[in-house]
Structure 1
Amino acid sequence: MKSLLLLPANALRTRAITPAVLDALGRPGVAALVLAVLALLQLGYGAHLPLFGDEAYYWTWSRQLAAGYFDHPPMIAVLLRLASLFGDGELAVRGVPAVCAAVGGWCLHALARDVYGPRTAALTLALYVLIPATQLNALIATPDAPLLMFWTLALLAAQRAVGTGAWRWFVLTGVALGLALLSKYTAVLLGGALLVFVALRRPGWLRRPRVWVAAATAVLLFAPVLWWNARHDWISFAFQYRHGTGQAATVDLGQWAGFLAGLSAIFSPPLFLLAAAACGAPATWREPRRTLLALCTLLPLSVFVWKGLFTKMELNWAAVVFPSATVLAAGYIMEGRRWRWLAASGVMALAASAALKFPVALGLPARLNIHNRLFGERQAIAALLPLRRPGEPLLADHYTTASLLAFYAPGHPHVRIPVPSRFSQYDLRDRDPAPRQGLYLARRPDDGALARQCGTAHLLRAFSVSAPGYLPKTFYFYRCGA
């Protein structure tokens, strides 16, 4: 990185970041066009990749819409159901994150334009497109895709409420926050950050109805999830609380350092440092709208950093800090003319994003190929299905395996999990006993559980799949109860 920071400032100023390019990209219409083109390119890329197990799992939710699910609120299921109007393959599923990322990018551009001006908006958009976190969020259909879109919309509406005091922006803030809560429970951290801002910088608003109308709007939109949880013994809230906090009481500094390093890597390490510097800059705390962005970065991040001392934190959980952090970092670069830091941030983000997108073409070791998580199941299912007898039930050993089997099998059949497995929406949905006979797909050899459930379990085939640049996988095909 040191060599990147020593790049000639004049070269970057005159060649890469010209005022004409910034002025053009700072226009809302041009930004929208760029994001639309990038969404189409993202769709073209993602449509040829197999689904990730969790994507298929959320797709199964979309076939039985409900006000809530064991793992998450219903927004991802609703969006996947809408996407199914355009098809039932990978293209339709991957359209959801691509569109969410494009809409979120436009909101981020508008936010930066309001707070810092059009040139910073242009730089914000460029950084947003380059960082690995965006590349992942725009590809995989998970609750994080709508969460980040509505989180960014809420930031945009909130800063306009701060700047204008107009009723419509308070109401829109409540709507966006409610939709974010319908996407993922993590959105409660945004609500907390907004309330802290009001208490610190606008305490008089607590005596006015606008803040409370916004809060009531968010709660009203979230009410169906509260109702669903109340009817299911608060099972979803309890699961996510245990999942996010863990039970460990001892500090694990190695795990904690790995979390911070990974978080920095998917944002770009120099950009991570710039965002941190911007959050600590006096100018940020003098201007209310910048203070709002700093609080919406620091407060959620502090929760994940603290929890990360004791339990494993997933990187995507903390990605909610990136929208506000990107705007702050872009403003810090522009106002301080920190072009060398910009060069380092851009080059490292681009290199990391390329490694995520094209690991095999770039010759990455198989163990570093993030596409390993997408590899193998589709080939195994294609080999399994010719063994199926007419009308034979399909069974699997895990909720992700069952979901992928349901997605790729013709007619999208109902797949059951007959053996003990991680509790999931399947356990809430399928209350009656699983079939005692059928064709069974597993990632591991049966340890006797299948035979105990079905009476008999015959191994039909151990199917291995491998390809250059990928870790090999082996799947096991059984016929049970026959």
Structure 2
Amino acid sequence: MRNETEARRTFIAAWCAVLAVKCVLATHLPLFVDEAFYWQEGMHPAWAYSDLPGLTAWLTRIGVALFGRDALGLRIPFLLLAAAVPWLVARVTAREFGATAGWQAALLSLLLPLAGTLGLLAVPDAAMAIATLLCMDACARLLRNVSAGAAVELAVGLALGAFSHYRFIAVLAVGFLVLLLMPEGRRALRDPRMWIAIAFGAAAWTPLVAWNMDNAEAGLRFQLVDRHPWAFHVDGIQFVLVQSLLVTPLLFVALVVAAWRYARDPRPAPSFFALLGGLVVLGFFVLGFFADTERVSFHWPLQGFIALLPLLPSLLDRWPRWLRIATGALAALGLVLMLGYYAAVSVPRLRETTAATRWYPGNFAGWQKLATQSRRALRAMPKGTRIVADDFKIGAELGFALGNPRIAVLPHPLNVKHGRAPQLHLWKLREDTVDRGKGPVLLVVGASEVSLRELPARYHELCERVGPLPAPRTISIDHGRQRFLLFQLPQLKQPGPGKGECTTPAIAWIERPAVDARVGRRFEVSGWAFKDGVGLRSIWVTVDGRRVAKAEYGLPSVGPKLIWPFSNDPQHPNIGYRAQVDLEEMEKGRHWLGLWLIGRDGSVEPWSEIPIDLE
């Protein structure tokens, strides 16, 4: 790729190939939870929302309106924005380093895994990348000579970033600081046209500021206060290591070296790119030692890496040929692996293999099956049955599948954890108590969204909001890693929730064998299980979904009552079980051990399975 023609042809071929692969993946990849909620926001048009400014929601609305209410239709606007990113990189780079370097940088933007996979999900990052590149290009022009065209480009970039995400504030703050540090930047800032552009960009934050002023700063508090511990933790080292792997190690080193070397370049534009990108990345690396570690954050520094891309071709040109090839090949491998991850998530059988690991993609899994079973349950219930969701994830995903953005949602810790509770309240979709006097209700509960220790309390809270829970229809996905419960609640004569002693779904624990245990052909299964309100009648042990032994139930087990003193299973403390399992005819290798919990109310509830290795 030493000449312009070869570089351009190579880039265009790679761009077409990556775009084609992403379109195929976007068609088959299950909807991510955040995408579904952004769709729901788009169906409630507003200038700003509790978690984001308005642009992402508007793009989802445009996508489904023009291309249909499916995963690809939702994602097409984001795929188009992402497809424009490498071309903007080429433009920005070519102005400073020449056309050949421009095409080389554009190719590197495709190979950078986080940038190359942009658009696969309907999330704000693609728009933020475009906004960053527009601001970079405008500032590079303004550092040479202030012009009306460059000022307009800066204004558009600033406005686009303001409508994309709170995180764009990092690009704004660092970019303004760098302009102040540079003589050319201070000269540009003395021009009124520059301040008109800045004022236009600042005005674009007005809807988000107004939303926060009207809602007790709920969005700002979530983004800047509530979700972060703001205390030093060593997990920040892991954040940096993850970035080096996601960027790919050699490309990561190249970006760091480029930031360091070009920060002192006498030319204003390369120096601006280096300082902007380097300080944004460094800032997020420092933030990683103090900020949120529970939610996804690996994409935070992406805008900084994009700002450094124009510097790479001239830097890599000085490296030995073998090292340049290794850098490109390793980056290409990283892109293939990330695309391969999304492909694997799209295949239920492959996704199922990760059920017992920390890498299980729960936010992608099970929604289609849940929607199918919910439709079936609704057909069996009276006309006019309302759906009430346990949390915002179920409400958004089911809403997208059923075309209903008005599914009511119960109060849930997840709504608060992800900053969606204020928005549900504004939409009047938060239903503190289910009034069953208004009609029948299909209650959809995500049993796997709460830890086992918190699950009994959650069930009792549901009883307070709904009334005693009838026998559920259990939807077990990927060996029970995802479990949903459907409760068909009939209409009551009196208003409000149902009355009576709390009846909940069953809860169990397999004490022996342990997860991933190696077992012989004959082994013992033991543990405890209970079902508040009515108790259990019997328990069956299953292997790979097939019943293999009936357990002896009613053995003493005092531990659960000590942990959950409010539990009202009438059989306490005799809730232990034990079974002898004989698998003489089963093949060696990995199998899945589970339970069927048979309630005294006639319920049959499969419990989550654990992997064992049969010797």
For the Cα contact (< 8 Å) 1:419–1:449, is it kept in 2? no
When the two chains are superposed, the root-mean-square deviation of aligned CA atoms in Å is: 2.6
**Partner residue, 1:441:** 444
Q: 1:93-142, CA deviations, whole angstroms, 9 ceiling, x for partnerless residues?
A: 12122111112221111111112112221221222112220244221111
Say whether the 8 Å CA contact 1:271–1:345 is kept in structure 2.
yes
| Corresponding residue to 2:369 among 358, 376, 379 | 379
Shift of 1:369: 5.6
The percent of aligned pairs where both chains have the same amino acid is 20
More contact order relative to length (CA 8 Å, sep ≥ 6): 1
Which residue in the other structure is 2:399 paired with?
Answer: 406
Q: Structure 2 matches for 1:169-184, cutoff 5 A? A: 169-184=150-165
Structure 2 residue aligned with 1:8: none
Larger Rg: 2
Q: Counterpart in 2 of 1:474?
A: 483
Question: Is residue 50 from structure 1 mapped to residue 36 from structure 2 by the alignment?
Answer: no
Number of corresponding residues: 454
Check 1:442–1:338 CA distance in 2 against 1; reply closer, same or farther (3 A cut): farther
Unmatched tracts of structure 2, length 5 or more: 448-454, 492-615
Alpha-carbon offset, residue 36 of structure 1: 5.9
Offset at residue 372 of structure 1 (A): 4.7
Question: Matches of residues 156-167 of structure 1 in structure 2 within 5 Å?
Answer: 156-167=137-148
- Alpha-carbon distance, 1:473 to partner: 2.3
Q: 1:481 to 1:110 in 2, by over 3 A?
A: same
Contact 2:443 2:486 in 1 (8 A): yes
2:385 to 392, 410, 417: 392
**What residue is the counterpart of 1:344 in the other structure?**
326
SS at match of 1:96: helix
2:424 equivalent in structure 1: 426
Structure 2: distance between partners of 1:432 and 1:358: 38
The question of whether the paired residues in 1 share the 8 Å contact of 2:155 and 2:197 is answered with: yes
Q: Which amino acid aligns with 2:426?
A: L
Deviation at 1:431, TM superposition (A): 6.3
The answer to whether structure 1 residue 193 and structure 2 residue 174 are counterparts is yes
The CA deviation at 1:170 is 1.8
Q: What is the distance in 2 between the residues matched to 1:186 and 1:442?
A: 33
Partner of residue 118, structure 1: 99
Q: Which has the higher strand share?
A: 2
Distance 1:136 1:102 in 2: 10
Unmatched 5+ residue regions in structure 1?
A: 1-16
Q: Return the structure number with greater helix share.
A: 1
* TM norm structure 1: 0.87
CA distance in 2 between partners of 1:451 and 1:19 (Å): 71
Change (3 A) 1:128 1:432: closer
1:40-76 CA distance string (max 9 Å, x none): 4422221112100010000000001111100111110
In structure 2, which of residues 106, 109, 119 is the aligned counterpart of residue 128 of structure 1? Answer: 109
Q: CA deviation at 1:222?
A: 2.4
Q: How does 1:284-363 map to 2 (within 5 A)?
A: 284-312=264-292, 314-334=297-317, 336-359=318-341, 360=344
Following superposition, the deviation at residue 210 of structure 1 comes to 2.5
1:189, 1:299 within 8 Å by CA — same for their partners in 2? no
What is the DSSP-based 3-state SS (H/G/I as helix, E as strand, rest coil) of the residue aligned with 1:183? Answer: coil
Q: Which residue of 2 aligns with 1:417?
A: 409
- Alpha carbons 1:43, 1:94 under 8 Å: kept: no
1:450 matched to 2:462: yes
Does residue 209 (structure 1) correspond to residue 192 (structure 2)? The answer is yes
| Local SS of the residue matching 1:439 | strand
Whether the 8 Å CA contact 2:390–2:410 is kept in 1: the answer is yes
How far the C-alpha of 1:337 sits from its partner, in A, is 4.0
C-alpha contact (below 8 Å) 1:143/1:183 kept by paired residues: yes
Instruction: Describe the SS at the equivalent of 2:40.
Output: helix
Alignment CA distance shift 1:432-1:178 (3 Å): same
Q: Is the 8 A contact 1:178 1:219 kept in 2?
A: yes
SS of 1:442's partner is strand
For 1:81 and 1:413, locate their aligned partners in 2 and report how far apart those are by CA, in whole Å. Answer: 12
Q: Does 1:145 align with 2:126?
A: yes
Please say if residues 89 and 310 of structure 2, whose CA atoms lie closer than 8 Å, have aligned partners that are also in contact. Answer: yes
Q: What's the CA shift for 1:405?
A: 0.5
